[in-house]
Amino acid sequence: MLLLTTVLLPLWVSCAHGQIIFWVLGQCFFPWVENGHSASSGQIHQEGDSVQIVCDTGYSLPNNQRGITCTESGWSLPPKCSRV
Protein backbone atom coordinates (compact mmCIF):
# COMPACT_ATOMS: atom_id res chain seq x y z
CA MET A 1 0.00 0.00 0.00
CA LEU A 2 1.35 3.40 -0.97
CA LEU A 3 0.82 6.20 1.51
CA LEU A 4 1.09 9.74 0.20
CA THR A 5 1.50 12.66 2.53
CA THR A 6 1.15 16.27 1.52
CA VAL A 7 2.62 19.07 3.59
CA LEU A 8 1.22 22.53 3.00
CA LEU A 9 3.37 25.49 3.99
CA PRO A 10 2.21 29.10 4.08
CA LEU A 11 3.39 30.87 0.94
CA TRP A 12 3.38 34.60 0.34
CA VAL A 13 4.00 36.40 -2.93
CA SER A 14 4.55 40.13 -3.24
CA CYS A 15 5.72 42.60 -5.81
CA ALA A 16 8.24 45.19 -4.66
CA HIS A 17 9.42 47.78 -7.14
CA GLY A 18 8.71 45.51 -10.09
CA GLN A 19 10.36 42.43 -8.57
CA ILE A 20 8.34 39.38 -7.64
CA ILE A 21 9.46 38.15 -4.26
CA PHE A 22 8.16 35.01 -2.58
CA TRP A 23 8.80 33.32 0.71
CA VAL A 24 7.70 30.29 2.64
CA LEU A 25 7.34 30.80 6.37
CA GLY A 26 10.89 31.10 7.68
CA GLN A 27 12.51 31.20 4.22
CA CYS A 28 13.18 34.02 1.75
CA PHE A 29 14.06 33.72 -1.93
CA PHE A 30 16.61 36.32 -2.99
CA PRO A 31 16.00 37.52 -6.55
CA TRP A 32 18.30 39.84 -8.47
CA VAL A 33 19.20 43.35 -7.26
CA GLU A 34 18.09 46.30 -9.34
CA ASN A 35 21.03 48.73 -9.76
CA GLY A 36 23.36 46.50 -7.73
CA HIS A 37 24.49 42.94 -7.12
CA SER A 38 24.86 40.25 -4.49
CA ALA A 39 26.45 36.83 -4.37
CA SER A 40 23.08 35.60 -3.02
CA SER A 41 21.07 36.24 -6.20
CA GLY A 42 18.87 33.24 -6.98
CA GLN A 43 19.36 31.61 -3.56
CA ILE A 44 16.96 30.72 -0.74
CA HIS A 45 17.77 31.94 2.77
CA GLN A 46 16.50 31.00 6.22
CA GLU A 47 14.89 33.38 8.71
CA GLY A 48 17.67 35.37 10.42
CA ASP A 49 20.09 35.21 7.47
CA SER A 50 21.56 38.52 6.33
CA VAL A 51 22.53 39.27 2.74
CA GLN A 52 25.11 41.88 1.77
CA ILE A 53 24.26 44.02 -1.25
CA VAL A 54 26.69 46.13 -3.28
CA CYS A 55 24.94 48.96 -5.10
CA ASP A 56 26.20 50.40 -8.37
CA THR A 57 27.98 53.78 -8.25
CA GLY A 58 25.45 56.52 -7.54
CA TYR A 59 22.95 54.12 -5.92
CA SER A 60 22.34 52.91 -2.36
CA LEU A 61 19.93 50.93 -0.22
CA PRO A 62 17.46 52.96 1.86
CA ASN A 63 19.12 54.66 4.86
CA ASN A 64 22.57 53.70 3.47
CA GLN A 65 22.21 50.15 4.81
CA ARG A 66 24.61 47.54 3.43
CA GLY A 67 22.33 44.52 3.55
CA ILE A 68 18.93 43.04 4.28
CA THR A 69 17.71 40.30 6.63
CA CYS A 70 15.29 37.43 6.07
CA THR A 71 12.41 37.69 8.56
CA GLU A 72 9.34 35.54 9.21
CA SER A 73 7.36 37.85 6.91
CA GLY A 74 10.00 38.25 4.17
CA TRP A 75 12.95 40.54 3.55
CA SER A 76 13.48 43.48 5.92
CA LEU A 77 13.78 45.78 2.86
CA PRO A 78 13.06 45.23 -0.82
CA PRO A 79 16.40 44.30 -2.46
CA LYS A 80 16.63 47.45 -4.57
CA CYS A 81 19.34 50.09 -4.84
CA SER A 82 17.94 53.58 -5.48
CA ARG A 83 19.64 56.61 -7.00
CA VAL A 84 21.18 58.90 -4.37
What is the average per-residue pLDDT within 20-36? 74
Q: Which of 84, 39, 80 is nearest to 57 (CA)?
A: 84
Mean pLDDT, range 7-22, rounded to an integer: 46
Half-sphere exposure of 10 (CA within 13 A, CB side): 8
Answer yes or no: is 67 within a domain. yes
How confident is the model at residue 6, as a pLDDT? Answer: 31
| Whether pLDDT at 54 is above 90 | yes
- 78 within some domain: yes
73 pLDDT more than 60? yes
Count of domains observed in the chain: 1
- Mean local confidence (pLDDT), 52-72: 90
Report if residue 3 sits inside a domain.
Answer: no
